[in-house]
Amino acid sequence: MRQPTEMTVPLVDLKAQYDSIRADVFAAITRVCDSQQFILGPEVELLEQELAEYLSAKHAVGVSSGTDALLAIMMGLGIGPGDEVITTTYSFFSAAGSIVRLGATPVFVDIDPDTFNIDPDDVERKITKKTSAILGVHIFGNPCDISRLETIARKNKLKLIFDSAHALGSMYNGRMIGSFGDVECFSLSGTKVITSAEGGIITSDNEVLIRKLDIGRNYGAVDDYDCQYIGLNGKMSEFHAAIALESLPLMDKFVKKRNELAGLYKKRLSEIPGISFQSQDSRDVSTFKDFGVIINKNIFGMDRDELIARLSREGIFAKKYFFPIHMMKAYGNIKCQKKNLTHTEFVANSIVCLPIYSHMTEEMLDKICYAVFRIRESVIKK
């Protein structure tokens, strides 16, 4: 590998992402200020319409965050005490947190060690009479086995929710993620492919459910303040919607660029023993919200943590992601499945997510790959 120019490579670079639309974003914020309508106005409504069309979903509802999207969905579906929701522990903590907050029980299943996604076989094994729903997650934007999960859900008369926080712009078998299962939700927080700074989107073809969630994001109340059910304050602001609207036209460009970067990563790093990649069905498209590689310390020569530390000393910022939910301190006293999660724990203890973002240059990527190569060589030669 050739040695690239010295530079610092951040994990994400939001400034670069927004430089090209800075003037448009400022104009959009001014437009909202002039309108004096800061919530549930035309910006949110337009974003909902455009995202529903983009995702080929019949309906979309804007909310304040991806976490509130999950919470609103489960409240709208009536999930609560006595219910079990099957999901993956290899995920962001708000997924299981939303289940716990409603008094329901998360039932953790193992992941596929190649795709890092929820294992449908383990889902089937852990269905009980108390199971109310399945919560599938598209890890790093890589679509999970939607067809299997839909079949399982239909067979057992379960609700099927997809946490698509990483997958805005992903495709499953040639079809945009956004209208699968009963309902899906996305995040527009600062680390996503496009961002509104903070925000979330719920999509579904179920008009009755969407109407309920539309009310639910506003406390469960309608215009006369008569609450139809206990909701939450999960409204998306007009400011956040305006920012997202300026970003949305860049979606396809950003996803294409991330896929090109992922391809270059795989080409460069496949030359280095002890590194393997998240597998993906050839019919699918991932957003590569993150690019995770597995480090086999026995072959690579060091563990993941040491590699991250050495990269950091060279101005390259990588991270270990995710920390399994069932191993978190917050879940120490919470009743949930904590055994037989072998693949989850292996991936979580071996993965490193390398920098990837939509304005990243090939020169930056070369620096990262060369550093990984050189660091390993320094250990092997000892």
Task: Summarize pLDDT for 101-129 with one digit per residue, the tens.
Answer: 999 999 999 999 999 999 999 999 999 99
Residue 1: pLDDT band (50, 70, 90) is low
Percent of the chain predicted with pLDDT > 90: 87
Residue 176: pLDDT band (50, 70, 90) is very high
| pLDDT value for 85 | 97
- Which among 173, 181, 206, 178 is positioned nearest to 52, based on CA atoms? 178
| pLDDT value for 335 | 79
**CA 84, CA 137: separation in Å to the nearest integer?**
17
For 1, the token pair is: 């590998």
pLDDT at 14 over 80: no
| pLDDT value for 222 | 85
Domains detected in the chain? 17-250 (3.40.640.10), 251-380 (3.90.1150.10)
| pLDDT value for 294 | 98
Mean pLDDT, the chain, whole residue set:
94
Task: Summarize pLDDT for 17-48 with one digit per residue, the tens.
Answer: 778 788 999 999 999 999 999 998 999 999 99
Q: How many residues does the chain have?
A: 382
Which residue blocks in the chain are alpha helix, DSSP H? Answer: 14-19, 22-35, 42-55, 66-76, 93-101, 120-125, 146-156, 207-216, 238-247, 251-269, 297-300, 304-313, 342-350, 362-380
**CA 55, CA 20: separation in Å to the nearest integer?**
24
Task: Summarize pLDDT for 191-224 with one digit per residue, the tens.
Answer: 899 999 999 999 999 999 999 999 999 999 987 8
**CA 183, CA 71: separation in Å to the nearest integer?**
12
Strands 84-88 and 200-204: unpaired
Residue 332: pLDDT band (50, 70, 90) is confident
| pLDDT value for 48 | 98
Q: Per-residue b/e over 213-249, b at no fewer than 16 CB within 10 Å?
A: bbbbbbbbeeeeeeeeeebbebbbbbbbbbbbbbbbe
- Which among 159, 158, 179 is positioned nearest to 167, based on CA atoms? 179
**Rg over CA atoms, the chain:** 21
pLDDT at 286 over 60: yes
| pLDDT value for 2 | 57
| CA 137 vs CA 100, 134, 187, 352: distances in Å | 17, 10, 12, 19
| CA 244 vs CA 28, 163, 210, 241, 319: distances in Å | 10, 19, 21, 5, 27
Place of tokens 């970067």: 261
For 223, the token pair is: 């215009």
pTM, entire model? 0.95
